[in-house]
Amino acid sequence: GTGTYTILAQLVAGHTGIPLDKIEVVLGDTMLPVGPISGGSAATASVIPAVLQAARAATEMVLARAAAVDESPFKGVDKDTLAFGAGRVHRKTEAAEKGVPFAQILQAAKMHAASGKGSAQGGFDDPLKKHYSIYSYGAHFAEVTWQPETARLRVNRVVTVIDAGRILNPRAGRNQIEGAVVMGVGMALFEHTMYDAQSGAPINSNLADYIVASHADTPALDVTFLDYPDPVFNELGARGIAEIGLAGVAAAITDAVHHATGVRVRRLPVMIEDLLLGSM
């Protein structure tokens, strides 16, 4: 998917210390609070404030009960001297590992769960956009090889540099950009829908006839994140990286084709016929 499930689980785990395998993320249900759409590279960055607010509210509830209930080992302790870390309640002067599992506090308080709520404004209607540029930016550089003797065109290498604020999950983020670059290779050199002139129906409406980039067509990929946190959008300084990985890839490839062949192709995908005719 878009990686939102993983990112949200990592945010909660990072704030509470609860293991990832104990965290369940639920999205896309009308019974849940209203959230941003999964588009426009805005989902993750927009929900960060809400998730962190909710996590803090839940942990504050646990700390309050830890200082109040009789069965708690922290009974009578000032709540402000307690902290929540590694999934445990502990004194701020002690390591989190020496604390008490939060489940024990809930059991002592006869609570089945501690809940918290959070909210955030974000997405396409974010009021910040009236005063700040909160978009992500990227640059793609492509290298192609053209062999006119065999009419063979190949993308050898693509170097991509992305400025998307703080990258919360570098491995997943890099995979997302690499996948987008491969999509750009398909856009530039392979993917083309042909339509029947009489019916208007697509002729190559299957993966046997509609050509997409394969592993053999994938160039060497070099992705670099500048990783400059942008705290204007949210406290973690993260923005979005989705579409920015695809935008501009086909343009970079066609520019490289022009540099290699001297032929300026102005429609996608680049056809071998265009290069052969243009070089005559």
- Please check whether residues 209 and 122 belong to one and the same domain: no
* CA angle, residues 178, 181, 182, in degrees to nearest 5: 90
Where does a domain end: 78, 107, 127? 127
Last residue of a domain, one of 127, 150, 166: 127
- Looking at the structure, tell me whether residues 57 and 29 fall in a common domain: yes
Task: List the domain range (segments joined by +) for residue 102.
Answer: 4-127
Nearest to residue 187, comparing CAs of 209, 211, 203? 211
Residues 121 and 166 placed together within one structural domain of the fold: no
- Residue at a domain's end among 101, 127, 153: 127
45 and 74 within one domain: yes
Residues 85 and 175 in one domain: no
Whether residues 70 and 13 fall in one domain: yes
Local structure of 197: helix, strand or coil: coil
* Sequential DSSP letters for 234-280: -TT-B---TGGGTTTHHHHHHHHHHHHHS----SSSPPHHHHHHHT-
Q: Is 234 exposed, middle or buried (0-12, 13-18, 19+ CB in 10 A)?
A: buried
Asked if 142 and 271 sit in the same domain, the reply is yes
Q: Which residues contact 148 (CB under 8 A, 6 or more apart)?
A: 261, 275, 276, 279
Residue 165 and residue 41 share a domain = no
The pTM assigned to this predicted structure is: 0.83
pLDDT digit of tens for each residue in the chain (280 aa)?
567 888 889 999 999 999 999 999 988 788 877 766 666 667 778 888 889 999 999 999 999 999 999 989 999 999 999 999 999 999 999 999 999 999 999 999 999 989 999 887 655 556 767 788 878 899 999 999 999 889 899 999 999 999 999 999 899 899 999 999 999 999 999 999 999 999 999 999 999 999 999 999 999 999 999 989 988 878 888 888 878 899 999 999 999 999 999 999 999 999 999 898 866 5
Query: Can you tell me whether residue 144 is helix, strand or coil?
Result: strand
Based on the domain organization, do 205 and 271 belong to the same domain?
yes
Q: Is the domain of 111 the same as that of 154?
A: no
Number of domains forming the structure of the chain? 2
Whether residues 271 and 140 share a domain: the answer is yes
From the list 242, 273, 241, 268, the residue with the least C-alpha distance to 255 is: 268
Catalytic residues, which ones?
243
CATH of residue 250's domain is: 3.30.365.10
